[in-house]
Structure 1
Amino acid sequence: MVLIGFPVLSLLIGIVGYFLFKNIFVPPLIVFLGSLFATYTVFNDSFLIWVFVYTSLAFLSGSVVKIFKERKGS
């Protein structure tokens, strides 16, 4: 889950969130808050490093979609 499931989910949230909110900062915030909540309720404190990794993935995927969309001219 930690190495495949959650990263794919955060990438998808970054992509879909950009199209929904037209902002690259809202999807990473959602991923950050969700994974931070999961760190202290489901997982232990060692999961905290993954919170920042998943947030970065969501930000990068939203940024890539934004760049491609601007280059396409839509």
Structure 2
Amino acid sequence: MKYIYDGFFNSMLVVLVTLPVITLIISAILSLFIKKRIFILSFIFIVYIILTFTIFNSSFLVWVPVYIIIAYIGTLFGDSIRFFKNK
């Protein structure tokens, strides 16, 4: 069975496209329900640390801060949706 992260192309596709989009969507959805950004960012950080040591290798740690920044942008997007919805 071929996993999604086998091979250079598939792993780079996952790291550069799939995971950032998933991170952005999940953080935006979570920010609609959880008002504290620190909890959302901590959750995303913990998930990616676990993924680093279970699925990926230690070089994936370079991408974790990038995904945290993307999650922060997602929380800002979710907060703006909540702000305009309540306006």
2:63 alignment partner, SS class: helix
Distance in 2, Cα, partners of 1:17 & 1:73? 16
Hey, what does 1:19 align to over in structure 2? 32
Pairwise CA distance, 1:4? 0.9
Aligned residues: 73
- Contact 2:27/2:71 (8 A) holds in 1: yes
Alignment partner, residue 49 of structure 1: 62
Identity fraction in percent: 27
Whole-angstrom distance in 2 between the partners of 1:6 and 1:13: 10
Q: What is the Cα-based RMSD across aligned positions, in Å?
A: 1.6
Structure 2 unmatched ranges of 5 or more: 1-13
**Residue-by-residue CA offset, 1:14-70 (whole Å, 9 max, x unaligned):** 101101212222222111101111111211111001111111111111023324533
Alignment partners' CA distance in 1, 2:72 and 2:39: 9
Give the greater-gyration-radius structure (CA). Answer: 2
